Amino acid sequence: MTTGKIGALIGLLLAAAALQWGWSGLILLALAGIAGYAVERWLWPQRQALWHWLRAGSRIITKEE
């Protein structure tokens, strides 16, 4: 997608959220965008290490019980 089309799409989504849900919708949309950015930027590239860490924790918990 070109930059102009992406900007237009974002503008339409913001306008729809404001008209549909008001300021709380815009805040929710911003929080979802921040969460999506964080996942794509930091968690997704580290997913193998994250899965390894989560699986190691589950093994530790089940051994203690």
| pLDDT tens digit sequence for 42-51 | 877 888 888 8
What is the model's pLDDT at position 64? 54
Dist CA 19 CA 25 (whole Å): 9
Dist CA 30 CA 3 (whole Å): 19
pLDDT of residue 35 exceeding 80: yes
Dist CA 45 CA 38 (whole Å): 11
Dist CA 39 CA 3 (whole Å): 22
pLDDT of residue 1 exceeding 70: no
8 falls in which pLDDT band (50, 70, 90)? confident
- Is 0.85 surpassed by the pTM of this model? no
What is the model's pLDDT at position 59? 65
